[in-house]
Amino acid sequence: MKLAAKFVCLVLALCLKYVTPLDNGVARMPPMGWLAWERFRCVTDCKTFPDDCISEKLFKDMADRMAADGWRDVGYQYINIDDCWMARERDDQGRLYADPERFPSGIQGLANYIHSKGLKLGIYEDYGSLTCGGYPGSQGHEATDAQTFAEWGVDMLKFDGCYSNDSSKAIGYPLMSAALNKTGRPIVYSCSWPAYEGGLPPKVNYTELGEICNLWRNYGDIQDSWDSIIDIIEWWAVNQDVLVSAAGPGRWNDPDMLIVGDYSLSIGQCQAQFGMWAILAAPLFMSNDLRHLEKEKMAILQNQGIIAVSQDKLGVQGKRYVKKNGIQAWSRPLSEGHFAVAILSTRTDGTPTEVTFTLNELNIKQATSYALYDLFEMKTVGKFLNKDLIVTYVNPNGIKMFRASPVSMEIIEEFDVWLNL
């Protein structure tokens, strides 16, 4: 089967793109959910911080909000624990267990609660002697830990890479993949491995990653700042030829969590991160406090037009085609001949910038004409030939996002067409 497919792709001269994705049936679209780390870190002092410490209360609160506030209905599914959930030692059978004071129901109890809300539970471990926060690591315990997670009803594993070296990681990440498979429970497998190796070939083998992991962190941790977002986007753009071919259904590049709703971003910057993560076919894990979220930021994160771009079944990651004077233009191919377009501004000169582009420039030319729909304004802006000059205005540190849908056009004026005027 594999050989036959390889032969077919040889015939079609598509061999360079041929990858057998991890065959565990999950994360066919970029997974969506909530992850504790960026916002809640490793706060374990529940006496001083009863609402914000890493405890079962925090994850139950988030599950309640996910179910009650419409998150689950628009596609957010996973509630994910990060580091610092464990007791400091394994039990006498060598098994991991949660800190009993902070997780009195244990992870299994928490999983039952989360499943009862129609959601899924993710957990965190590390391939090394210790986790980054100094809790017991999985090295030498891969099969036991995979089995423990499966028995608890865990649906996703983020596998970090502190306290291990390059050669042991090259053994450990495939070993855990096989151990998860052996449990028989489909568990989304998120690998931090490439982020520890600089994220690029030849050190990182994206073919292998696609065969053993569902998603992987390529680059450093996101922080609560616009600079961090722009740094990540720039790295994705500069390395897009490597990254775009690595991604596809069941195997995703992960630029890290959404910080929309946290301390640092303006509304425009929130739109920009959310829109760009959809263009990048990125997993959408919010790390914010769903109990205290402004209505406008909630509306951004629940924008169904943007979510449809993220979850498009073609599963092709977008690319940057233009970067000039603090303006960048990206497009992402979608199913049925549609495209998503992002015009991103990192300019700071006060007033909206006039931007002129053609669909041709963004590699959108399969059809001769397209209808453009503004995904944040939620309105149709017009029909355009792929060679038409399109003019739009982008706010400083902001974004414009469009869906371009192929249309037949009887009569079209040959002059420039102005958007949003």
Catalytic residue numbers? 160, 221
Residue 211: CB minimum distance to ligand NAG, A: 6
Residue 371: CB minimum distance to ligand NAG, A: 41
Q: What's at 397, amino acid-wise?
A: N
24 scored as a contact of ligand NAG (CB under 6 A): yes
408 scored as a contact of ligand NAG (CB under 6 A): no
Closer Cβ to ligand NAG, 16 or 421, answer by number: 16
User: What are the angstrom distances between the C-alpha of 417 and each of 331, 379, 384, 394?
Assistant: 20, 16, 8, 16
Residue 252: CB minimum distance to ligand NAG, A: 17
Question: Which residues from 250-279 bind ligand NAG, rule CB under 6 A?
Answer: none
Q: Which residues pair with 322 in a beta bridge?
A: 329
Distance of CA 322 to the CA centre of its chain: 23
Closer Cβ to ligand NAG, 24 or 225, answer by number: 24
Question: Which residues from 318-337 bind ligand NAG, rule CB under 6 A?
Answer: none
181 scored as a contact of ligand NAG (CB under 6 A): yes
Question: Which residues from 38-57 bind ligand NAG, rule CB under 6 A?
Answer: none
Backbone φ, ψ for residue 232 (5° rounding): -65, -45
Write the Ramachandran bin of 277: left for phi over 0, alpha for psi from -120 to 50, otherwise beta. alpha
16 scored as a contact of ligand NAG (CB under 6 A): no
Residue closest to ligand NAG (Cβ) = 24
3 scored as a contact of ligand NAG (CB under 6 A): no
Residue 164: CB minimum distance to ligand NAG, A: 6
The residue within the footprint of ligand NAG, chosen from 1, 2, 4, 23 (CB under 6 A), is 23
Distance of CA 344 to the CA centre of its chain: 19
Closer Cβ to ligand NAG, 188 or 394, answer by number: 188
| Cβ burial 401-420 (10 Å sphere, 16+ → b, else e) | bbbbbbeeeeeeeeeebebe
Q: What angle do CA 381, 382, 385 make, to 5 degrees?
A: 135
Question: Which residues from 127-166 bind ligand NAG, rule CB under 6 A?
Answer: 165
Q: Contact 396/353 with Cβ under 8 angstroms?
A: yes
Closer Cβ to ligand NAG, 23 or 413, answer by number: 23
Question: Which residues from 275-304 bind ligand NAG, rule CB under 6 A?
Answer: none
The residue within the footprint of ligand NAG, chosen from 4, 11, 92, 167 (CB under 6 A), is 167
205 scored as a contact of ligand NAG (CB under 6 A): yes
208 scored as a contact of ligand NAG (CB under 6 A): yes
CA distance 65 to 67: 5
Closer Cβ to ligand NAG, 130 or 293, answer by number: 130
Closer Cβ to ligand NAG, 52 or 151, answer by number: 151
Q: Which token pair is 167?
A: 């050669």
225 scored as a contact of ligand NAG (CB under 6 A): no
Closer Cβ to ligand NAG, 184 or 350, answer by number: 184
211 scored as a contact of ligand NAG (CB under 6 A): yes
Residue 78: CB minimum distance to ligand NAG, A: 17
Residue 186: CB minimum distance to ligand NAG, A: 5
Residue 24: CB minimum distance to ligand NAG, A: 3
Interface positions with ligand NAG (CB under 6 A): 23-25, 165, 167-168, 181, 184-186, 205, 207-208, 211
